[in-house]
Structures are given as C-alpha cells and as structure tokens.
Amino acid sequence: MRTTQARHEEYFSFLRSVSLLRGLPEEKLARIVDCLEVDCFEKGEYIIREGEEGNTFFIIANGEVIVTQSTEGFAEPQEIKTLGVGDYFGEKALISEDVRSANIICSENDTHCLVVDRDNFNQMVGTYEELQAYLKEYVEELSRCDERRNAL
C-alpha cells in the first residue's frame, strides 16, 4: 500500500512542475496537496458541462481532455482545444462567478485530475497576487476568444 507520505510527495513534486504554480511558496503548495481530491475519468465522460454551476478547479495529472463549446451556426458543440498533463481548467467559472462556459470531455481512458474546491482555490490564488492577476487576464482573454468564435 502506498503511504500518505508517498502520495503527498508524488503530488507535491508534480504540482511543482505545473507552470501556473511555479511561484507558490512550498508551504502553500503542501497545503494544496493536503486538500486535493483525485478524480478518475474514462474516455467519453463529461468532466464539466457547459451551463452548469461549478465549484471546482482541475489539474490534469494523467491523460487528456478536449474542450468543446456551443457555437452559433453549428448543431453540435465545436472542439476548441485539447489539454494534457500539467494543464488545468475550470478556473473561469470560479473567477468570473459564472456558470461553466465550455464542456470538458475526457478523451483518454484512465485520466486523473487533481481537484481543488472553490475555498481552497481562493486560498491558493487569493494570497498570491501575481497568480490572481495572471488568471484574471487569462479569463478575460478566453471571453474574447469566445466572442470571436461566436460561442453561444
């Protein structure tokens, strides 16, 4: 059996490698590891559905997902990107206090996501101004991208 200690070290060193979190102090990162949940998904499963309320932020530890979005003039949601290990998603609903703005669909079996709830996300981001500014700007850029592609 894998010890709690080993699990902690594994996720700690993984999160160290996630560029978004590069500037976080060690004790902050350790705290995040303590309150992480790990969720596992199979190919085709919806991790996030457009229009739903959301209270979680995800970091991909293993596998791959696609991002799709309802778009004017198309019957089906359109694929807008693929995300892999070390990428993250779900920040937009938390930062803009809005419903989920795209679908996130698992595209590879045995995809693992590290899940951070709203309170812990706010603690992670709130105490680190650069991260907050970076994400705010990124979320605004996503909204402009949505407009450009006529997202519904």
Write the DSSP assignment of 77-88 as a string of letters. Answer: PEEEEEE-TT-E
Closest to 114 (Cα-Cα) out of 64, 49, 63, 61? 61
With CA atoms as reference, report the closest residue to 140 among 99, 102, 91.
91
Closer of 20 and 33 to ligand WNU (Cβ): 20
Smaller CB distance to ligand WNU: residue 7 or 126? Answer: 126
Cβ distance to ligand WNU smaller for residue 30 or 128: 128
Which residues, numbered 120-139, are part of the site for ligand WNU (CB under 6 A)?
138
The residue type found at 139 is V
Question: Contact letters (x/-) for ligand WNU, 82-121, by CB under 6 A?
Answer: -x----xxxxxx------xxx-x-----------------
Q: How far apart are the first and last CA of the chain?
A: 47
Report the interface residues with ligand WNU, using CB under 6 A.
48, 54, 67, 80-81, 83, 88-93, 100-102, 104, 138, 142, 145-146
